[in-house]
């Protein structure tokens, strides 16, 4: 009864004094003597979560206001690339924990943060009834793409795994033509060839490059495992994008992220239990890294969603390719690994092909609207 009374009184102050944090803090403090210590903690945790949810929701929903300056959306996209690159770096640095378990931690933190946003916005956790099959598929594919990417990062150089994962634009174009009946022009196969050449330069199959393969310090079996995992990640991410396009605007972005988080957690727990790779992270930096992976993953997703809200999809997606550049920079400075010329050449081919596909789609769509 006491907690309920405090909850409603604090909620009243929260709503009425949200724009006056000092007043709000004083009013909450005045309630503290009347509560036991554990009840105080419970109320304060609720208020902190509620206030954090309000801030994130305001950030998401402020789409009608004019951006503070030209190019703000591109800045958001660039920042999201930085956060995602740091997530990949930390996944590489974590020791003794399987990539699937790392993915589970990220899904868990993502779910914890997105849950209050859904509650605040009064959205059904299940989503529209007619779209639930697509939501289940989106959640499974999105989580699988992340798991495979983290696996690739642990078994091959960070930059190489990132570059191959960015080859998903090949599959997006093919699947969009097959299932969404989107137009395919002659330029798309040309740019696809560029991307495939880049992937081959990074994978470096022995039948093309011989038995002594430059730039591969681990044994080639591990490298090829990582290559297939990164390619699988690109495939799953591409199908996930097609599913999201198919659902369109009928499904709120929070629900899409929620399904990704919940199904990802379930998927990770099941797979880790089957392969019996469940381990507690080491004390110290590994636990800190896992916490940062979860938080930065959510921040990166929020920033990129915000970028798409206030910036055209073409330029925002082009800025996203900066993840490849960031991967090479972080690999050089934090992993003490210089990229080989073949890796740089492959990355250049993938970036040219990806940017070509994005720019071509943006240009043709702009022409059709005129």
* Tens-digit pLDDT profile for residues 84-128: 999 999 999 988 888 899 999 999 988 998 899 899 888 899 999
Q: What is the pTM assigned to this prediction?
A: 0.76
pLDDT at 312 over 80: no
pLDDT at 51 over 70: no
pLDDT at 64 over 50: no
CA distance 43 to 327: 42
179-193, 233-247, 257-271: which has the minimum mean pLDDT?
A: 179-193
pLDDT at 148 over 90: yes
Which residue in this structure is represented by tokens 């080491």?
Answer: 282
Mean pLDDT of 26-33: 43
Question: How far apart are the two ends of the chain, measured CA to CA in Å?
Answer: 62
Read off the tokens for 206.
Answer: 């022995």
Where does the pLDDT of residue 250 fall: very low under 50, low under 70, confident under 90, or very high at 90 and above? confident
Where does the pLDDT of residue 185 fall: very low under 50, low under 70, confident under 90, or very high at 90 and above? confident
At residue 168, the pLDDT reads 82
Mean pLDDT of 28-48: 47
CA distance 124 to 129: 10
9-13, 75-79, 256-260, 290-294: which has the minimum mean pLDDT?
A: 9-13
Percent above pLDDT 70 for the chain: 74
Read off the tokens for 320.
Answer: 């996203």
At residue 218, the pLDDT reads 59
CA distance 107 to 297: 9
pLDDT at 15 over 80: no
Nearest alpha-carbon partner for 235 in 170, 139, 317, 152: 170
Nearest alpha-carbon partner for 113 in 260, 314, 324: 260
At residue 12, the pLDDT reads 39
CA distance 138 to 136: 6
Question: What average pLDDT does the chain have?
Answer: 77
CA distance 227 to 205: 10
Q: Which one is predicted more confidently, 203 or 332?
A: 332
Mean pLDDT of 190-215: 74
* Other residues' Cβ atoms within 10 Å of the Cβ of residue 313: 13
Listed in order, strand segments (DSSP E) in 246-361 are none
6-20, 126-140, 277-291, 331-345: which has the minimum mean pLDDT?
A: 6-20
3 state SS of 24: helix
Beta carbons within 8 Å of 61's beta carbon, 6+ residues apart? none
pLDDT at 277 over 60: yes
Beta carbons within 8 Å of 156's beta carbon, 6+ residues apart? 218, 222, 223, 225, 226, 227, 230
pLDDT at 156 over 80: yes
At residue 54, the pLDDT reads 59
At residue 13, the pLDDT reads 40
């Amino acid at each position: 009864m006491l907690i309920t009374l405090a909850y409603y009184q604090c909620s009243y102050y929260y709503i009425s004094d949200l724009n006056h944090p000092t007043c709000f803090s004083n009013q909450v403090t005045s309630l503290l003597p009347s509560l036991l210590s554990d009840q105080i903690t419970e109320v304060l945790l609720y208020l902190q979560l509620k206030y954090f949810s309000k801030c994130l929701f305001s950030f998401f929903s402020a789409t009608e206001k004019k951006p503070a300056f030209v190019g703000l959306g591109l800045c958001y996209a660039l920042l999201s690339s930085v956060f995602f690159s740091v997530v990949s770096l930390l996944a590489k640095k974590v020791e003794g924990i399987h990539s699937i378990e790392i993915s589970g931690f990220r899904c868990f933190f993502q779910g914890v943060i997105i849950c209050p946003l859904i509650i605040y916005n009064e959205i059904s956790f299940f989503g529209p009834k007619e779209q639930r099959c697509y939501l289940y598929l989106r959640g499974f594919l999105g989580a699988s793409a992340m798991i495979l990417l983290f696996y690739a990062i642990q078994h091959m150089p960070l930059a190489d795994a990132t570059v191959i994962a960015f080859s998903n634009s090949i599959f997006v174009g093919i699947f969009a033509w097959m299932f969404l009946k989107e137009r395919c022009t002659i330029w798309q196969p040309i740019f696809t060839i560029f991307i495939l050449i880049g992937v081959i330069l990074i994978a470096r199959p022995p039948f093309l490059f011989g038995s002594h393969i430059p730039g591969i310090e681990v044994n080639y079996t591990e490298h090829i495992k990582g290559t297939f995992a990164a390619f699988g990640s690109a495939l799953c991410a591409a199908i996930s994008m097609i599913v999201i396009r198919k659902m369109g605007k009928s499904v709120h972005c929070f629900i899409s992220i929620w399904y990704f988080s919940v199904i990802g957690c379930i998927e990770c727990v099941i797979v880790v239990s089957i392969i019996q790779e469940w381990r507690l992270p080491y004390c110290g930096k590994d636990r800190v890294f896992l916490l940062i992976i979860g938080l930065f993953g959510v921040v990166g997703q929020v920033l990129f969603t915000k970028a798409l809200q206030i910036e055209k999809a073409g330029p925002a997606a082009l800025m996203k390719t900066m993840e490849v550049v960031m991967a090479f920079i972080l690999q050089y400075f934090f992993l003490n690994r210089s990229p080989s010329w073949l890796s740089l050449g492959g990355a250049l081919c993938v970036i040219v092909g990806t940017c070509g596909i994005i720019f071509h789609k943006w240009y043709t769509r702009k022409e059709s609207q005129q």
